[in-house]
Amino acid sequence: MKVFGVVGLGLIGGSMALGLKAANAKLSVIAYDTDDQALAAGLALDVIDEQAASISDLSARADLICVCTPVMQMKRVMAELSNFEGTVTDVCSVKGPVVDAAKELWGGLPANWVPGHPIAGSEKHSVRGARSDLFQNHKTILTPNAATLPDALNQVTKLWQTLGAEVVSMTIDHHDDVLAQTSHLPHLLAYTLVDVLAGFGDEREVFEYAAGGFRDFSRIAASDPVMWHDIFMTNQAALLKRLKTMVAALEDTANLIENNDSDALMLRLKRAKAARDYFTGLQPDEP
Amino acid sequence: MKVFGVVGLGLIGGSMALGLKAANAKLSVIAYDTDDQALAAGLALDVIDEQAASISDLSARADLICVCTPVMQMKRVMAELSNFEGTVTDVCSVKGPVVDAAKELWGGLPANWVPGHPIAGSEKHSVRGARSDLFQNHKTILTPNAATLPDALNQVTKLWQTLGAEVVSMTIDHHDDVLAQTSHLPHLLAYTLVDVLAGFGDEREVFEYAAGGFRDFSRIAASDPVMWHDIFMTNQAALLKRLKTMVAALEDTANLIENNDSDALMLRLKRAKAARDYFTGLQPDEP
């Protein structure tokens, strides 16, 4: 790969650009974005080398393209990439809609398209937050199908390995359900909690007395609203199913408290702490 | 103050000890705990200078005592402090039960007792996590009443100021309601989410694909289960009221998603992000 192309220059595309350039000084990165300020920032920060005037301009110059737009803009971008013959990948947090859009456009996902999703991010969602090590020791999930070109799959696998990620494969349905649980539901809770707290009246007082725990919690709600709007809307079935279970569990916990069921509440808290401690043990590289 | 006494040696009591000794090299700290290992760790780490054999032993030797036990152990500890004539304070996250216990024991809170609550903590809840700067630039809420001795109030105010905290006053009911919103509800959500995710079946897979956002979220569930059991049980009225609002908001959000009400969902996410950004602006000293 000599020229890496990015559609949608934010935290993810910018971090890929920095990481790939750190590994290969000869690599050139070109980006297209509807937001000129993102492109200007990318150039000023040396995250990208050139900007493209359009997606077809990018297609004509790049060897491999990664689409990093919010989910609901994918179909429009995909249509403009129809004639691109190199390998394409994307980083959408929901994979079902990417395949659905491809089906509507072309009857199915093209053989040169390898859907992907790096399990990494930050509340600093613009290109200004880009870091070459964002994906180091994080997983990247690829969801290829039977038609995917082996060469394209290898190329995208190597791309992520170069960025320090551990590449794993799974089906699209399984991906969307696992992520509904581990990412989409927590984000929905965090956004809703912050909105509820702000709505309780004296916002300033509520936030002034918020301690460290709340800070951790609310950091999630600082993520990009457009990106999360699209995720919630497009992963509806899996997310609503998991949300229903969560609401039932909250009502159950409320009943334990109301009925002074001390033993059952204690069991639940200890079980959660044990699960969390187990989770921490799986993350040797994190602080 | 020459001798500072701690009942219940964990993160909070240990951090107070370290901070007060850093400010006054001549200060001696004595602690009592039902857990001998906590006392041994406190001595080995030079967090405390001596251990007391009992609460009455501690009473005979300390000038000022801070009670740092979980809420539901307060009444038992208070009864044993009946004859102590120096100033007493506590750090319970719920203030109502402290006053209720005092009413049952003595008909009301003694004039030498200044209820307090530092808005600081960490998931490292044992004395091994103690840090002299834990309270620096954090608020400590005191909830004195008309009977509180001005000298006792001044002494406890100075204690927290020495530890770098900003001391503020409020009524007990107001404290318990504000904290239900900013601390108890978020912790209840975090514990319940982690428990729900662990219960979805393949715990290992769920936690393996959990990204940074979830890590922030679940850190809260690593706190001490006994402490949080007591908080949830004793701040029942305020907590259940706020939880009910949260559950209604989650159901409302689910409806927006199910009905594809894109504008209303977007408004909610943007409002939450604005509130979170406002909150961040109030925390100049935090990373």
Assess if residue B31 is contained within a domain.
yes
B contact test, residue of A15, A94, A197 with most B CBs within 10 A: A197
B164 and B197 both lie in a single domain: no
Q: Which domain holds residue B90?
A: 3-170
The per-residue pLDDT for range B217-258, each reduced to its tens digit, is 777 787 889 999 999 999 999 999 999 999 999 999 999 999
B124 and B247 both lie in a single domain: no
Whether residue A284 has pLDDT greater than 60: no
Mean pLDDT, residues B70-92 taken together: 96
| Cα-based distances in Å from B210 to A131, B89, B216, B230 | 20, 41, 10, 29
State the CATH number of the domain containing residue A71: 3.40.50.720
Name which of A181, A220, A276 is nearest B222 (Cβ-Cβ).
A276
Last residue of a domain, one of B170, B190, B223: B170
Mean pLDDT, residues A190-195 taken together: 90
CA angle A256, A259, A260 (to 5 degrees): 80
What is the model's pLDDT at position B199?
78
Placement of tokens 């799959």 in the chain: A153
Assess if residue A286 is contained within a domain.
no
Amino acid at B286: E
Give the rounded percent of residues in chain A with a pLDDT score beyond 70. 95
**Total domains, chain B:** 2
Assess if residue A54 is contained within a domain.
yes
Assess if residue B191 is contained within a domain.
yes
CA–CA gap between residue B161 and residue A227 (Å, rounded): 43
The per-residue pLDDT for range A148-161, each reduced to its tens digit, is 999 999 999 999 99
All residues at 6 or more sequence positions from B136 whose CB lies less than 8 Å from its CB, including other chains: B163, B164, B165, B285
What ipTM was estimated for this complex? 0.86
Residues of A in contact with B254 (CB under 8 A): 240, 243-244, 247
Tell me whether A255 touches chain B (CB under 8 Å): no
How near does any CA of chain A get to the CA of B98, in Å?
18
Nearest to B6 by CA among B200, B49, A199, B23: B49
How near does any CA of chain B get to the CA of A48, in Å?
26
A165 and A205 both lie in a single domain: no
B220 and B254 both lie in a single domain: yes
CA–CA gap between residue B259 and residue B253 (Å, rounded): 10
What is the model's pLDDT at position B184?
93
A38 and A82 both lie in a single domain: yes
More confident residue, A1 or A283: A1
pTM: 0.87
Tell me whether A241 touches chain B (CB under 8 Å): no
A28 and A141 both lie in a single domain: yes
CA–CA gap between residue B230 and residue B58 (Å, rounded): 25
A151 and A24 both lie in a single domain: yes
Last residue of a domain, one of B170, B187, B209: B170
Last residue of a domain, one of A125, A144, A170: A170
Taking an 8 Å cut-off on Cβ atoms, the answer to whether A246 and B205 are in contact is: no
Whether residue A128 has pLDDT greater than 60: yes
Taking an 8 Å cut-off on Cβ atoms, the answer to whether B265 and A232 are in contact is: yes
Strands (E) in A121-278, as ranges, are 139-142, 166-169
Closest chain B residue by Cα to residue A222:
B273
A95 and A153 both lie in a single domain: yes
Q: Residue B283 in 3-state DSSP?
A: coil
A89 and A184 both lie in a single domain: no
More confident residue, B80 or A182: B80
Assess if residue B287 is contained within a domain.
no
State the CATH number of the domain containing residue B219: 1.10.3660.10
CB atoms within 10 A of CB A226: 17
The phi and psi torsions of A277 (rounded to 5 degrees) equal -65, -35
B79 and B165 both lie in a single domain: yes
Assess if residue B286 is contained within a domain.
no
A120 and A240 both lie in a single domain: no
